[in-house]
Structure 1
Amino acid sequence: MLPAGVCAPIEVNVAKNILVFEIDERQLGVSADLVVEVVRAVTPLSLPRVPETVMGIINLRGEVVPVLDTRKCLRLAAMPVRHTDHLVIIRDGALCYALHADRAVDLAMLQSDATDEAEEDSEPTGQLAKTTLGFVQLLNPWDLLSSDDRAELASIVSSAPAREAKG
């Protein structure tokens, strides 16, 4: 029997790619379909009145991109941005977000049914999956922000000229 909050993987047949990244030596993954690119981390420009899980914004080739504090979202200890860190850029409709990670690891094959739902009270990772790189906690980026927070960020991003967000 597994301890509470620990999920057992399920074997599957349909393959899917996920981008695996690390935070505090924890392997997390997001669907590669959501990932636009991975870039070296830069210190984001802080903004007032943004959700507490937002570190700030960066200018990514003229596009204003909010940077989510993935550690805070996962209830881990805060860390400043380091030159070895990565930002995983994902797209949510017309808006891009960056997930701050210690490092991007690799693309891994995930069998679509090789996951098990996490318990309701767990972190926003949602699923544990068996991949070609080992066990990975799958992250649903849309669970990191409420719909109100996403709408607020979209408003801030649309009103912020990209030249003000250095990065």
Structure 2
Amino acid sequence: MLLLLFETSDGRYALDSRDVVEIIPLVIPKKITAAPAYMAGIINYRGEPVPVFDLCALADGTPCKHLYSTRIILVRYPLAAGREKLVGLIAERVTDVVKSGHTDLGSSGILIDEALNSSAAGSGNDEIIQRFDLRGIIPKNVVRELFKD
């Protein structure tokens, strides 16, 4: 399994690359009035409006830092009945892709894999990298409001 590694204010995460559509430079999304603070806004991606969420703000209320490695990860967000919508996720240090021997990441959400540990420059082997769950990160009521038909 190919994994995209990134960081938020509360740690390192791995996202299955099959969920990723594209990684784009950080652009400033257009704010949405009365949206939660963790919703950065909306961007125009190839003519389509795409909601963008700040993962650092979701984690602890503080927006991601504007670093050279801060990116917007465009992902397919799974909805009911097999449907998907494009969503942008702002994350820091979006710099590594690693191949993991795991095919099923298990229910713990913790990845323990030699490939992950050796890929993180200077991190040592004591770092915990958590599996990123697309369905669990955005509150259900926000998803319903954004993607209602």
Distance between the aligned counterparts of 1:49 and 1:76, measured in 2?
16
- Provide closer, same or farther for how the CA distance between residues 101 and 79 of structure 1 changes in structure 2, counting only shifts above 3 A: closer
Deviations 1:86-112 (A, max 9, x none): 111101234111110113122222313
Paired residue for 2:44? 59
Which aligned pairs between 1:35-54 and structure 2 lie closer than 5 A? 35-54=20-39
Paired residue for 1:90? 75
Paired residue for 1:147? 140
The share of aligned pairs that are identical, in percent, is: 23
Following superposition, the deviation at residue 130 of structure 1 comes to 2.2
Distance between the aligned counterparts of 1:101 and 1:19, measured in 2?
11
Paired residue for 1:12? none
Higher helix share: 2
Paired residue for 1:9? none
Paired residue for 2:7? 22
Distance between the aligned counterparts of 1:83 and 1:60, measured in 2?
20
SS in 2 for 1:68: strand
Cα pair 1:115 1:130 within 8 Å, conserved: no
User: Is residue 112 of structure 1 aligned with residue 99 of structure 2?
Assistant: no
User: Is residue 33 of structure 1 aligned with residue 23 of structure 2?
Assistant: no
- Provide closer, same or farther for how the CA distance between residues 24 and 52 of structure 1 changes in structure 2, counting only shifts above 3 A: closer
Larger Rg: 1
Gaps of 5+ in 1: 1-15, 118-126, 159-167
Letter in 2 for 1:71: C
Cα pair 1:42 1:83 within 8 Å, conserved: no
Cα pair 2:105 2:131 within 8 Å, conserved: no
Deviations 1:106-159 (A, max 9, x none): 222231355561xxxxxxxxx11024131421111221223321121125xx8x
Distance between the aligned counterparts of 2:17 and 2:52, measured in 1?
18
Cα pair 2:23 2:73 within 8 Å, conserved: yes
Give me the TM-score of the superposition, normalised by structure 2. 0.75
**Bigger relative contact order, structure 1 or 2, given CA contacts below 8 A and separation 6+?**
1
Cα pair 2:12 2:129 within 8 Å, conserved: yes
Paired residue for 2:116? 133
Cα pair 1:45 1:56 within 8 Å, conserved: yes
SS in 2 for 1:150: helix
Residue correspondences, number: 132
